[in-house]
Structure 1
């Protein structure tokens, strides 16, 4: 089983359990709500991975480190005596299966929206 199928089966399984926690009962309407919410959660996880891969937060971390390095004189003296620079090593994080989160999330969101709309307009 590849990662996408595993993610799909875990998300589908959790969508059957989630209505009991949110609504204290299970019905098709609450199940479609849970499917939509899990789809949104997967899409948000995908975009968080994109931000981390794009090193969006690196500028904030570096500026905070530089700020505290300039304020703390003791660390500045130690760094000068050891002849260290304040530049930190950049680490690149790559998520190999992030596209699966987007695909399964979009499938859940669009599918639940379509089925919920059909059920609403037929009743």
Structure 2
């Protein structure tokens, strides 16, 4: 089984369990609501992966680290004596299966909206 099939089965079982925990009884409408929530969660996970891959937060972390390094004289003296630079090593994080989260999340959201509509 590939990752997409595992994610799909795990998400479907999670939506079944979530409908029991949230509503204490199973019905098609309650399951559609839980399926929509799971779909939104998968889309949010995909969005976080995109932000991490795009290094959105690295600029904030680097500027904060540089600011505190320049304002703290003790760290500045240590840094000069050890001849360290302020530029940290950066790395790029890539998630191999991020599109699966988006596809399954959209499928769940649209499917639950159609079930709710009818």
Instruction: Settle same-fold status: TM greater than 0.5.
Output: yes
Q: Which residue of 1 aligns with 2:75?
A: 75
Cα separation, 1, equivalents of 2:86 and 2:9: 46
Q: Which residue of 1 aligns with 2:25?
A: 25
Cα separation, 2, equivalents of 1:83 and 1:117: 65
- The C-alpha deviation readout for 1:24-76, integer Å capped at 9, x for no partner, is 22211110000000000000000100000000000110011011101211111
SS across alignment from 1:25: coil
* Unpaired runs of at least 5, structure 2: none
Q: Per-residue deviation at 1:20?
A: 1.9
TM-score of the superposed pair, with normalisation by structure 1: 0.93
Q: Which residue of 1 aligns with 2:2?
A: 2
Once superposed, which parts of structure 1, at least 4 consecutive aligned residues long, lie more than 2 Å away? Answer: none
* Unpaired runs of at least 5, structure 1: 119-123
Q: Which residue of 2 aligns with 1:66?
A: 66
Q: Which residue of 2 aligns with 1:114?
A: 114
SS across alignment from 1:84: coil
Cα separation, 2, equivalents of 1:27 and 1:63: 51
Q: Which residue of 2 aligns with 1:85?
A: 85
Q: Does structure 1 residue 103 correspond to structure 2 residue 103?
A: yes
Which sits farther off after the overlay, 20-29 or 77-86?
Answer: 20-29
Task: Tell me how many residue pairs correspond in the alignment.
Answer: 118
TM-score of the superposed pair, with normalisation by structure 2: 0.97
